[in-house]
Structure 1
Amino acid sequence: MPAVPNTSVTGCASPYSAGETCTYQCNAGFVADGGDANRTCINGRWDGRNLICSSNGCPSRPTVADTVVTGCTPPYDAEETCTYQCSSGFRSAGGDNTRTCRDGDWTGTDLVCKSNSCPSRPTIADTVVTGCTPPYDAEETCTYQCSAGFESAGGDNGRTCRDGDWTGTDLVCERQAVCESTTMLSGVSGAFTSPGYPNNYQNNQQCTWKITVAPEKIVAISFTAMDIENHHRCGYDALVVYDGPTSAFPEAARRCGHNTDQILTTGHEVFLTLTSDGSITGSGFSASFRAEDPPTIAPTCSPGQFSCLNGNCISDDVRCDGNDDCGDGSDEEAERCQSGCGSPGFIRGVSGSFTSMNHPSQYSNNANCEWTITVSDTKAVQLTFDTFALEGTPPGCSFDRVDIIENGERVATLPPPPPPAGCGNPTALPGDSGSFTSPDYPSRYPNNAECSWTISVTPGKIVVIRFASFSLEASGSCNYDALTLYDGTDRNAPEVKKLCGTHSREIATTGSDAFLLFTSDGSVTQSGFSATYTAEDPP
């Protein structure tokens, strides 16, 4: 019988008789590629041709993008199976995970793997987003929080990019309700917070609380957190504590910034108001109250003595001297040592300083402020004013004034400031380009300045102003010192921009004329500005 490679034989056995037929089959992993499967012994010879069996393995496996392959190695034999899985960051979107080498080719179709990252995150109104950046990878999580003045009303804070889409539902943020009525608190103890805490309270808000404890007790108010817009007199936003059931009672304390000192009342009722202005808010406060026994009060102190909250008596001469003479700090409390209008009300020693109410901002109407200055009996008091700006005209000073009183007699009345410094009003700047600066630049500009410039460029062009440097006294609405650009020939034209603080961006008119006005108040100056202007085509 003919020996044929890669085959197995059936149907015949040695010795082979005339007419006996052997049947050849290709072994596993091989496929017939020519010749005869049956061979018959005729006249002492085998008829036909040798069966040709070729390997039916696969020369290479399919290359599929963004996949990882396991379970097979080259050379790839018949019936060998390769398992495909999508790479990290990708997901299956069709095709076959397994491919088998059969008859020299691979079964199935290519696995389709698509990126499971997310092209963009959900845009949700009135929220702030942290914790994620584009492009957004699989399993990356964005954290949403309601913006200041809003509070959560449902939905999810955390959204995760998964399989090319975002988990969860949109966070719903609703504007915080404005305080409408007084919150009534009572009992032995309790807690309260500013509206929306720890989110920011709203602008232009007024909220009130009334706390009542047992008649024989006083109220102790403690703070775990305080974040209210700061001001040296708490003149913007403030939590005011009144020592009684309404705001008609005396103030026990006025708080802003981060002051978390405890507050004690003298009675069993207290009224609190949180008031905010039209700009800048904080997270507010978290507070608790507790009913306590009132401190034991010693008999009334003698004339010329100060009665401490702990019952001690000390000389009025050492009150507000920076030392805790009482032993409980009550002789140095800010509310007891202020003039009633800002800065210390009692000044002793060889030197000191004080300011008017709200300085350097404008003082309030109907103010009545007092400062007591005491020096050695052998010395006289010399007053030096760094800045001075009051309403009125000397010598009468019938509107606002500062009286200096010695031993009960008025010895002087201080006059108002000199008239504003001039700069040429207005200064006409020629041509389609040029430059201008604040007065005395780069030195500090003067107080009470008023300077203006007019610029007219080629019709059809606009005026573009750029700053090489800019430094004016800063305020939220530029009410102190400011440079204002008007879109025309004078200050009656529409206002384009009012600048203060530090500003380096360019500003521009919509037409060929510009009017600029620089003003400074009676205190605090900076180096001012250096600017250029050019005529340019409108956008």
Structure 2
Amino acid sequence: MAPVQTHSSASYSVHSHQSLPVVSHRPVFHCGGDLVADSDFVGSEGFPSFYKPNSKCTWRITVPEGKVITLSFRIFDLEADSQCRYDYLDVYNGHSNLVQKLGRFCGTFRPGSLISTTNTMMLEMVTDGETQGRGFVAHYSGAEPYVDANQICGGKITKEQGEIKTPNWPDKKYPPGISCSWLIMVEPDMVIQVTFDKFVLEADVYCRFDYVAFFNGGERDDSRLIGKYCGDQAPEPILTTGNVLLVQFVSDLSVTSDGFLASYVGVPRGSQIPSSGTRYIPPRPAVKPVATTTKPPTTTKYVPTARPKPMKPTRNRGQGTTGQDRRPPVTNGKRPVAQNPLCAKACKREGTIKSAYCASEFVLTGKVTSLSPGPRGTLNVNVSLIKAYKAGRLTITQVGETMSVKLVSQCKKCPLFRRGINYIIMGQVDEEGRGTLQPGAFTAPYKAPHHRLLTNISNQPC
């Protein structure tokens, strides 16, 4: 067994996940250990030095009986991968990897707070033999499960139908710094359907601060994340695959909001599971846009232009070439197929990586997972996210442990994508939160050294 971690008091800057810790007495972090205390710091071995390759470290945290554990990350820097296959940190709701996994994390954006349902938690960090980062530092503390005189936050529910709601609903906003866990169980031949009546939580692209998460299964190894939600749009109805559902609501210590009211009911097994996945709703503009037929003025060549007039879908064959396509004149009384005007010129990337970064509303790296033709010669592109350097109003979705975005390329062969390849992608965002790509949008195959280049650009003024 690894030695018990012991170290003196320390304080860490939380203004940026990239910043180094500011310590009064620098602690020494070991590879794993048993941590038994009301509160303390836990970190990767040797932090702030780079963590070791080909290692596996396990930390078991225990706080006093009757309390739950709040784990708050201060710094996080592991090798980025859209599926966290190489270097990653797993967090479990107990002292075993057979219990519910609260999440798997990698990359450089700081995860939100995690809450256990008991007084134990386990962290397991695995690294491969190649790229290393600085690792992580997190603070854990024991907290009282939230109990109000008029409402118990969470608990075990075995009724066939009922409600779950945030504390103080509907009289006032939910409190800061709380966690609620509901374990809902119905008859073995039933599954559970959840619908939201009201839903207003603090918005964040990654739902790191205030969120509600749903898991198939309880606290055993069959527990799998269904979705994690925040923002001010109610999620689509949720349907479990079994008769047990774990619901976790977490709020951090800052912004609070109205909360949510949801109803659940047991329904016959075999009902169709919603296919919408998990939607993260980015913050909306403070001022509601006024409807107008005039597009916003073009300030750079990367702002989307007006859409072409609709064409009949049966006449769209062959659209989306790079300008090589020359259509025949009208013959034998047949109408020629109209070209997509956006594809009428040669496919050429415009601008430099720096100028494109500044002119784009979103900048990300990720793997193209699927390509499908859209209306009027467009192309739908699904991207499994590696890192978002600039997100703006872009909608980012999560299914299971992976994050993805949906993009629409206005010309299906420009820019040119290949499924399974990692790319740097820059573009604009439409009013529905979808990423849009013009033919000249900046895209390029992504390699690991590009991360440092994009990070440096993101830290410079445009």
The two structures have a TM-score, normalised by structure 1, of 0.30
Of structures 1 and 2, the one scoring higher in RCO (CA 8 A, sep 6+) is 2
If you compute each CA radius of gyration, which structure gives the higher value, 1 or 2?
A: 1
The two structures have a TM-score, normalised by structure 2, of 0.34
